[in-house]
Structure 1
Amino acid sequence: MKIIILGAGVIGVTSAYYLAKSGHEVIVLDRRDGPAKETSFANAGQVSPGYSTPWASPSLPGKLFEWLKDPKHSPLKITPRLDPAMFKWLLLFAANCNRHHFDVNKGRMLRVAQYSKTCLDELRQETGIQYDNSQKGLIQLFRTSQQLDNAYNDMRLLSLYHIEHSLLDTKSIIEHEPGLANAQSLLKGGLYIPGDESGNAYKFTKKLAQMAEELGVVFQYNTTIEALEATSNSILSIRTSSGRMTADSYILAAGSYSSLLLKPLKLDVPLFPIKGYSLTLPLTNPEAAPVSTVNDETYKVAITRLGNHIRIGGTAELAGYDLSLHHNRRLPLETSFSDLFGPTDFSKATFWTGLRPATPDGTPIIGNSGKFKNLWLNTGHGTLGWTMACGSGRLITDMVNQKKTEIPSQDLSLERYKNAWI
């Protein structure tokens, strides 16, 4: 079968690799000049199944009140705009901020993320792929007693899905991460997830794209996707800057831009870009840096060691498709790192921004589009595209092949939103 994949980020490339391995003729289109040049380029670097948690939670309304009191350091910023899509998304997001939906959504996310880690482990064993990868776990740091209390529900769900974890006191945190010694007075505790890991998503995607090419995948870069052309129930072709292209099936893995491509087809997808930022700086003082990766629950910031660099990623901004760098958004990143690891010279840091394709419930959309029999969706992974990439690629491959997926997947499709729009 001939398959065209729209998007060459980590989701599109993993999908291409697994589809090619199963015998398909695969073409991948992307407007950039290479793979992983957008959201996958400089993300936080975490492969963190145990930290797979929806933003929509029962505790979020209270956090919003605290963040509004300190907008400079707030991990969330909403730019007011007359945007019906954002308004609808926020309504659905708010509807998920309760215990029942949180548990359901987190369960789905844990299922996909844990499966994806298994797939990544198998891929690494089969190919020997290297990408500044490290398997030294993750510690979620709590600065307040309330954060510590909230962790107990997360631990309940981790236990339910058999994900190894432990609650650490401050002494144990320092034993795992000696660089945090000077921040001991700030910490109330931490949730340690030894199975989580880290790695450079850009390096991974670039190398996997090369492996996919060896399997026969054709990557057509510098190609803008202008429109999907369809009948009432099938995609006929894709109009691109290089001309029309046809295939037997199409997989949409265009991240935040997926919903824009589907809108002319009158297919509503509850997907909205959540703008995130990162800083990447040279590792100059290993003693004042994480051994692997830590997450600061207060600032919603992830700090990861990637080879000879430190990646500091976080913040969430609802500003549509604006990719401009707002330097005031560096402050939460810099403050979090300096609080935890001491005063730091950020003058050599590379500042970057990308758009995370977020669903209101935090769960990706993986499956057939429903309206068009030969259109498949693999998008909406939010902050966890890197964490869920290999599993998502395997799932969509099994679905296209009409093969039973290795984990339950029916509730991952767009169908779960069928009655959600107002």
Structure 2
Amino acid sequence: MKVIVLGAGLLGVTSAYFLRQQGHDVTVIDRQATPAAETSFANGGQISVSHAEPWANPDAPLKVLKWLGQEDAPLLFRLRADMRQWLWGLQFLRECTPARTRHNIEQIVRLGSYSRAVLQALRRDRGLAYDQRTQGILHFYTSQQEFDAAEAPAAQMRALGCDRRVISADEAVRLEPALGHIRPRLAGATYTAEDESGDANQFARELAARCEDDGVTFLMGHTLTALREAGGRIDHAEVVDAEGRYRQLRADAYVLAMGSLSPLVAAPLGIRLPIYPAKGYSVTMPVLDPARAHQVSLTDDEFKLVFSRLGDRLRIAGTAELNGYDRHLNPQRCQAIVRRAEALFPGAGDVSQAQFWTGLRPATPSNVPIIGRSRLPNLFLNTGHGTLGWTHCCGSGKSIAQIVSGMAPEVDFAFAGLALRRVSTSGVGAAA
């Protein structure tokens, strides 16, 4: 079967890889010159199954109100005359109940655990190297209230098979000595030994090269202008190449993996995707003093920041700004990240060489991605992964390839368009 994958980010490249493994003739289309050049370019670097508590949780509404108008707030709603933003916000509030939060954590953990295992197998089988570290992820807390609030979600994650252990401040410093500088301020931590970190952009580019070796075609510099429907199916994709030439491309199936642009592509087809761009920031700087720099990947839950060591570079990323499709770098938000990094690990990184980046994360109100069939039988969805695209990409890519091939996915997850799910005797679910 001929399949066109729309988007060459992490989700598009992994979808293409696993579709090719299923024997399909695969073409990938992307407007950028190279794969993973947008949201997958400089993210936080974490394969973080333990980062499963969604933004929408019972504590979120009061926090969002407190943060309104604060330019350096971890989660900033910049209110606009934008109906899509307001509708997304209302859906977000509906997801903040305890019952919805528990349900969403369950979905996120199941997909994350499966995806991490798929990544590990893929790395082993294809010899991928991307500055990966397998030292786990440590969530640390400088607020006793935030630490206390972390215990219940951590317990739920453990019940789902994600071993996120609650540990003392002293044990946190033992695991990551760089935290010794702030030991008096540490309330406690959680630690997930099975989690990982690595350079998502490097991974995507290496996997794209493996895809090409396997026969996948990449049409880079091709901008999708429309998907055209005929007879209740997608008939063709309309694209314009880098020289401005118009083309119509046809396939048996299409996979929409265009991140925050996905709802704009789907809307003319009558498909409403509850995805809104959440602008995230990252800072990358060279290691200045290895003795002060962290080795273990870290999450600062109070400030919604993650810290990863990528070879001789430090990557600090996080925060979310809901401000439409604006990609402008806000200096105040950039400097807020640098200030927090310097307060925690003074002198660890060379701030004078800091590089700032921003990308639009495709956020759903629940933080649960949209993977599966659309109402059009030959249009499939792999989008809406928010801050967890790197964590979920391999499991999502393998699952959508199985769905396109008419197979049941190996993970028990609320796939779109696949209402019936069964749980196998091994405890791994599959869509029926």
What TM-score range do you get, normalising by the shorter chain?
over 0.9
CA displacement at 1:80 relative to structure 2: 2.2
1:280–1:310 CA contact under 8 A, matched in 2: yes
Find the counterpart in structure 2 of residue 350 from structure 1.
355
- 1:45-194 aligned at under 5 Å gives the runs 45-68=45-68, 71-194=70-193
Shift of 1:165: 2.5
- Structure 1 residues 298 and 188: CA distance shift in structure 2, 3 A: same
The alignment status of 1:277 with 2:276, answered yes or no, reads: no
- Following superposition, the deviation at residue 412 of structure 1 comes to 2.7
CA distance in 1, matches of 2:232, 2:111: 29
Q: Name the residue aligned to 1:365.
A: 370
Deviation at 1:232, TM superposition (A): 5.1
Quote the Cα distance in structure 2 between the aligned partners of 1:56 and 1:206: 32
Measured against aligned partners, the alpha-carbon deviations of 1:51-74 in whole angstroms (never above 9, x if no partner) come to: 1221101111232344348x2431
Structure 2: how far apart are the matches of 1:335 and 1:329?
10
**Paired position in structure 2 for 1:385:** 389
| Aligned mates of 2:145, 2:46 — CA distance in 1 | 25
Q: 1:131-164, CA deviations, whole angstroms, 9 ceiling, x for partnerless residues?
A: 0000001111111121111111112211211122
The offset of 1:415, in angstroms, is 7.8
CA distance in 1, matches of 2:412, 2:187: 37
Poorly superposed stretches of 4+, deviation over 4 Å = none
Please report how far the alpha carbon of residue 187 of structure 1 lies from its aligned counterpart in structure 2 after TM superposition: 1.1
CA root-mean-square deviation: 1.4
Q: 1:101 is aligned with what amino acid?
A: R
Aligned to 1:27: 27
Match of 1:419 in 2: none
Aligned twin of 1:397: 401
CA contact (8 A) 1:56 1:94 kept: yes
**Paired residues of 1:28 and 1:217 also in contact (CA < 8 A):** yes
SS in 2 for 1:32: coil
Give TM-score scaled by structure 1 length: 0.95
**Matched residue pairs, number?**
413
* Alpha carbons 2:68, 2:77 under 8 Å: kept: no
How far apart in 2 are the matches of 1:232 and 1:158? Answer: 45
Alignment partners' CA distance in 2, 1:149 and 1:239: 52
- 1:307 matched to 2:311: yes
For the residues of structure 2 that align with 1:415 and 1:359, how far apart are their CA atoms?
Answer: 19
Deviations 1:92-138 (A, max 9, x none): 00100110000000100000010000100110111110000000011
**Pairing partner for 1:263 from 264, 267, 280:** 267
Find the residue that maps to 1:287 and give its secondary structure.
coil
Question: 5+ unaligned residues in a row in structure 1: which ranges?
Answer: 417-422
Alignment partners' CA distance in 2, 1:40 and 1:52: 19
Residue 318 of structure 2 aligns with an amino acid whose one-letter code is G
Alignment of 1:280-295 (within 5 A): 280-295=284-299
Q: Hey, what's the Cα distance between the residues in 2 that align with 1:66 and 1:322? A: 23
- Amino acid across the alignment from 1:412: F
Shift of 1:260: 0.4
TM value normalised by structure 2? 0.93
Residues 288 and 350 in structure 2, CA contact (< 8 A), matched pair in contact too: no
Gaps (5+ residues) in structure 2? 242-246, 420-432
